[in-house]
Amino acid sequence: MKLIAKYFQWMNLYSIPKNKKSPKIVNAVVEIPKGTSAKYEYHPDGYFVYDRSLTSAMVYPASYGFIPQTYADDGDPLDILVYNATPIERGTVVECQVIGVLDMEDENSEGSMDKDYKILGVPTSHIREYNSLGDIDTLFLDIARNFFIHYKELNNKSVKVFDWHGDKKAFKIIENAISFNYEKISKKLPDDQFEDLITHITK
Rounded distance between C-alpha atoms, residue 1 and residue 138, angstroms = 49
Beta-carbon contacts of residue 30 (< 8 Å; ≥ 6 apart): 63, 64, 65, 82, 88, 89, 90, 91, 92, 93, 94
How far is the CA of 176 from the CAs of 22, 78, 179, in angstroms?
12, 10, 5
Residue 12 pairs with which residues in a beta bridge? none
CATH superfamily of 2-192: Inorganic pyrophosphatase (3.90.80.10)
Distances in whole angstroms, Cα of residue 177 to Cα of each of 67, 70, 183: 10, 5, 10
User: Could you read off the pLDDT of 173-184 as tens digits, one per residue?
Assistant: 999 999 887 666
What per-residue confidence (pLDDT) applies to 185?
A: 56
Stretches in the chain below the pLDDT threshold 50:
1-10, 189-203
**Do 116 and 106 meet the contact criterion of CB atoms below 8 Å apart?**
yes
> How high is the pLDDT of residue 183?
63
Residue 45 to residue 10: CA distance in whole angstroms: 6
- Alpha-helical regions (H) of 99-166: 138-150
The torsion defined by the Cα of 184, 185, 190 and 192, in degrees rounded to 10, comes to -120
Percent of the chain with pLDDT over 70: 84
pLDDT recorded at residue 79: 97
pTM: 0.84
**Which residues fall within 8 angstroms of residue 94, CB to CB, at 6 or more apart?**
27, 28, 29, 30, 63, 82, 84, 88, 121, 123
- Where do the domains of the chain lie? 2-192
- Asked if residue 179 lies in contact with residue 198, where contact means CB atoms within 8 angstroms, the answer is no
The per-residue pLDDT for 165 is 98
pLDDT of residue 6: 39
CA distance 199 to 186: 13
Q: What is the pLDDT of residue 10?
A: 45
Residue 195 identity (one-letter amino acid): E
